[in-house]
Amino acid sequence: MNLRRRGMEEPEINVISMVDIVLVLLLFFMVTTSFVHQSHLSMELPKADQAPAGEPKTPITIDLNAAGQVSIGGQAIPMGDLAGRLKAMAARDPQRVIVLRADKNATQQYVIDVLDAAQAAGLNRISFATLSSH
């Protein structure tokens, strides 16, 4: 008779069966997702009398520096003439978009003056240009 004590064996988790189950699940999800189709309806679009819309118009770019100087499309103009210039541009196309590129050190009053001039001209579609923080 062998009465010697054996050392305690560490219990083990059978990883092989767990890997088999994971692979079967992976295979199942891969197969089922490949059979999912979006509903593709066969349809014929109606015809229109008018030509499709052309290229989008370039926005009016207004630059405003920290000193309150304004330029439209790179051409410097006095702040007092801004409303008149914008009215002339709005007469040609009242749906044009204004992109305001204001210096971060420009005062709010200068920005509000530009916004007031745009509103007086009837141009209400205004966006502010920013730099990405990345």
Domain residue ranges of the chain, discontinuous segments joined by +: 60-128
Helix (H) or strand (E) holding 121: none
Mean of the pLDDT values across residues 100-122? 91
Residue that has been written with the tokens 């069966």 in this structure: 17
Q: How many CB atoms lie within 10 A of CB 81?
A: 12
Predicted confidence at residue 3, as pLDDT, reads 66
Are 63 and 71 within 8 A, CB to CB?
yes
Strand ranges, E, within the chain: 60-64, 70-72, 75-77, 98-102, 126-128
Tell me: the pLDDT tens digits for 4-32? Answer: 666 677 777 778 888 999 999 999 888 87
Provide the CATH number for the domain formed by 60-128 in this structure.
Answer: 3.30.420.270
pTM: 0.57
Predicted confidence at residue 86, as pLDDT, reads 92
Tell me: the pLDDT tens digits for 46-98? Answer: 666 665 565 567 888 999 888 889 999 888 999 889 999 999 998 988 888 99
Predicted confidence at residue 2, as pLDDT, reads 64
